[in-house]
Structure 1
Amino acid sequence: MKAAVLHSENEIIYQDIEISECQPNEVKVKVMAAGICGSDTHKMVSKWKYPLPAIMGHEFAGYVVEKGKDVTNVEIGDRVAAIPFIPCNECEYCLRGQFSLCENHGMIGSKSFGAFAEFVNIPAKNVLPIGEMSFEDAAMIEPSAVSLHGVLNIHPQLGDVVAVFGVGTIGILAIQWLRVAGVKEIIAIDISDKKLQDAMDLGCEKSINPLKEDLIKKIYEYTNGLGVDIAFECAGSKITQEQCLLITRKQGKVGYLGIAYSDVTLSEKAFENIFRRELTLKGFWNSYSAPFPGKEWMNTIEFVQQGKIKLKELVSHRYKLEDTQKAFNMMINREEEYNKVMIIPNEELE
C-alpha cells in the first residue's frame, strides 16, 4: 500500500510499504479521511519518542475491507470510525473502567502504524459503525470525544459563565458541548480574529483577543468583577495555562485540556489564587470511560447524527496522501490560518 511514512522529525516520505494480513481479531480499514491532530505537529518540532519509521494518524474513518476469522461485530463493507486507543484491560485502572489512565496501552498512529496510509489494521473492538455519517465527520469523533471528556468531568452547572482559551478544534468542540450542557455564557479567548468569529458563529456570546484587549480587565468587566465560574484551557500554551488562574472566581474551576509543551512558571498572583480563591484544578487526558470506549464516543455519534454538534464546519484544509508533508509544513510554518486539516488517502468512487 501507499503510506506517508515518518522517518525523522518532520521528514515524511510518500512510499510503498507492506501491510500484513488481519490477525484473527482484527479488521482492515480502507482509510477515507484522517485528521491531523495538534499533538502530531508538536511532535514534529520537539522529539518523536516512538519507533521509526512510523505512520501517524489516529483520527480516522473508512470502510472495512477485510476481517479476521474471529470477528463478529462488523462486516466487510461497513462504514466505521476508529478508536485509536488500545487499553491493556489488565492494569488497575483498566479494571476500574478508567481506561484513559491505562498504564500499558497501545496507540494507533504512534506506537503502531496509523491512518496516513491507504489501509490500517486495527482490533475489531476498536471500530464503531457510523451509518450514513460522512467520513470526515466520523474522523472527528475522536477530538470531539476528547473535548466532551473534559466537559463531562468539569461538571458545568446551569447558568455558569465559562471562558475557553484557544478555539482551535478542541476549543471549538468544547464550546459546542458546553452549550449543550446548558451554561449561560461562553467567552472565547484567542489571538486569531477568524477563530474568534468561528466561535461566535457556533454559540459564544463574547470573545476576547488578548493581543488587542486587556484580558483580565475584559473578563472582570464581563463578569461584574467576579471572574468566570469555569476556565477551560485548550491552547496548550504556558501563557494561557497561567491566565486561567487569574480570571476564575472564588471557588471556581479550572480545566486543563491543552498539553504542556514547556515548563510553566506561575506568578505569585496566579499561585496565590489557587488557595486564596479555593480553586479546583482538574486535568483531562484522552476520551475514554466505561463501558469502553465510553459515553464520550457514543454521545458524539448520537449528537452529530441529530445535528446538535457541528463537525464538518471545522475542516479548513484537505490534502491528498502524497501531500502529507506539505500539510505538515503548512501547519508547522503557519503558512496559512487553519483549523482541522484532513488527509484523504483514498478518493470516493462516483
Structure 2
Amino acid sequence: MKAAVLHEKNKIIYQDIGIDSCRANEVKIKVMAAGICGSDTHKMTSRWKYPLPAIMGHEFAGYIVEKGGKVVDLNVGDRVAAIPFKPCSACEYCQKGQYSLCENYGMIGAQSFGGFAQYVNIPASNVIQVGEMDFEEAAMIEPLAVALHGVLNIHPQIGDTAAVFGAGVIGMLTIQWLKIAGVKEIIAIDISSEKLAEARAMGCEKVIHARYENVLEKINDYTKGRGVDLALECAGSPVTQEQCLLVTRKKGKVGYLGIAYSDVCLSEAAFESIFRKELTLQGFWNSYSAPFPGKEWKTSVDFILNRKIRLKELISHRFKLEDTQKAFNMIINREEAYGKVLIIPNKE
C-alpha cells in the first residue's frame, strides 16, 4: 500500500509499505479520510518519542475490507471510525472505568501505525460503527468527543455564561456542545478575525479579538463586573491559560482542554483569583469513559447522525495522501489560515 511515512523530524516520505493480513482480533480499514491534529504537528517537530519510521494519524474513518477470525460484531463493508486510544485494561484507573487516565495506554498513530495510509490494521475493539455517516465527518468524531469530554465533566448549568478561549477546531466544537447543554451566552476569544467570524456564525453572541481588545475589560463589561460562570481554555497558550483565572466569577469553574507546550507562570493576581474566588479548576485529557469508549463517543455519533452538530464548515483543507508533507508544512509555517485539515488517502 501507499503511506505517508515519518522518518525523522518533519520528514514525511510518500512510499510503498507492506501491510499484513489481519490478526484474529483485528480489522483492516480502507482509510477514506484522516484529520491532522494539533498535537501531531508538535510531536513530529519537537517531541516525537516513538519508534521510527512511523505512520501518524489518529483521527480517521473508512470501511472494513478484511476481518480476523475472532471478530464477530463487525463485517466487511461496515463504515467505521477509529478509536485511537488503547487502554491497558489492567491499571487502577482502567479498573475504575477511568480510561482517559490509563497509566499504560497505547495510541494508534504513535506506537502503532495510523491513518495516513491507504489501509490500517487495528483491533476490532478500537472501531465504532458510524452508519451512513459521511467519512469526513466520521474522521472528526475523535476531536468532537474530546470537546464533549470537557463539557460533560465541567457540568454546565442551563443559563450559564461561558468564555471559550481559542476558536480553533476544539474551541468551535466546544462552543456547539455548550449551546446544546443550555449555556445561555458564549463569549469567544481569539486573535484571528476569521475564526471569530466563524464563532459568531456558530452562535456566539459576543466575541473578543484579543490582539486588539483587552480581554479582562471586555468580559468585565459583558458580564457587568460579575465574570463568567465557566471559562474553557482550548488554545493551549500560556496567555489564555492565565486569563481564564482572571475572568471567572466567584465560585466559577475553569476547564483546561488545551495542551501546555511550555511553562505557565502565573501573575499574583491570577493565582490569588484561585483561592480568593474559590474557583474550581479541572483539566480534561482525551475523551474516554466506561463502557469504553464511553458516552463521549456514542453521543458524538448520535448527534452527527441526527444533524445536531456542524462539522463540514470546520474543514478548511483537503490534501491527497502524497501531499501529506505539504499539508504539515502549510500548518507548521502558517502559510494559510486553516481549520481542520484532512488527508484523503483513497477516493470513494
Using the size of structure 1 for normalisation, the TM-score is 0.99
Q: How does 1:220-235 map to 2 (within 5 A)?
A: 220-235=220-235
Q: Distance in 2 between matches of 1:345 and 1:261?
A: 30
Residue correspondence of structure 1 range 154-173 to structure 2 within 5 A: 154-173=154-173
CA distance in 2, matches of 1:77, 1:210: 47
In 1, Cα distance between equivalents of 2:222 and 2:307: 30
Higher deviation after alignment, 303-312 or 136-145: 303-312
- Cα distance in structure 1, aligned partners of 2:75 and 2:43: 35
Equivalence for 1:41: 41
1:1-350 residue pairs with structure 2 within 5 A? 1-348=1-348
CA distance in structure 2 between the aligned counterparts of 1:134 and 1:231, rounded to whole angstroms: 32
Q: Distance in 2 between matches of 1:247 and 1:44?
A: 34
1:20 deviation in Å? 1.4
1:44 shift after superposition: 2.9
Distance 2:21 2:105 in 1: 22
In 2: Cα distance, 1:306 partner to 1:134 partner: 12
Report the more deviating stretch, 169-178 or 127-136: 127-136
How many residues are aligned here? 348
Query: How far apart, CA to CA, are the structure 2 residues paired with 1:109 and 1:301?
Result: 22
Residue 108 of structure 2 aligns to which amino acid in structure 1? I
Give secondary structure in 1 for the equivalent of 2:34: strand
Give the secondary-structure state (helix, strand or coil) at the position aligned to 2:341.
strand
C-alpha distance in structure 1 between counterparts of 2:241 and 2:162, whole Å:
15
| Cα deviation 1:150-175 (Å, max 9, x = unaligned) | 00000001111000000111000000
Identity of aligned residues (%): 72
Q: Deviations over 1:244-298 (max 9, x none)?
A: 0111111111000000000000001000100011000000000000111001001
Partner Cα separation in structure 2 for residue 338 and residue 73 of structure 1: 38
SS state of the match for residue 261, structure 2?
coil
Query: How far is the alpha carbon of 1:106 from its aligned partner?
Result: 1.2
Q: Distance in 1 between matches of 2:107 and 2:328?
A: 20
1:9 and 1:275 mapped to 2: Cα distance? 42
Q: Match of 1:81, SS?
A: strand
Provide the C-alpha distance between the structure 1 equivalents of 2:300 and 2:43, rounded to a whole number of angstroms. Answer: 27
Q: In structure 2, how many angstroms separate the alpha carbons of the residues matched to 1:87 and 1:294?
A: 13
Question: CA-to-partner distance for each residue in 1:22-48, whole Å, 9 max, x for gaps?
Answer: 110000000000000000011233221
Q: List gaps (5 residues or longer) in structure 2.
A: none
Distance in structure 2 (CA, Å) of the matches to 1:117 and 1:176:
31
For structure 1, list consecutive stretches of 5 or more residues without a partner in the other structure: none
Give the counterpart letter for 2:300 in structure 1.
T
Describe the superposition over 1:74-110 as per-residue Cα deviations: whole angstroms up to 9, x where unpaired. Answer: 1111111110111111111111000001111111001
Q: CA deviation at 1:14?
A: 0.5
- C-alpha deviation, 1:313, in angstroms: 1.3
1:312 is matched by which residue type in structure 2? K
Q: Secondary structure at the match of 1:46?
A: helix
Q: Deviations over 1:99-135 (max 9, x none)?
A: 0011111110011100000001111111111111100
Aligned counterparts of 1:45 and 1:277: Cα–Cα separation in 2: 39
Task: Return structure 1 stretches of 4+ with deviation > 3 angstroms.
Answer: none
Following superposition, the deviation at residue 186 of structure 1 comes to 0.2
Give the letter aligned to residue 267 of structure 1. Answer: S
Cα separation, 2, equivalents of 1:174 and 1:330: 25
SS at match of 1:12: strand
Counterparts of 2:45 and 2:207, CA distance in 1: 30
Compute the displacement of 1:306 (Å).
1.1
RMSD of Structure 2 on Structure 1 (CA): 0.6
2:85 maps to amino acid: F
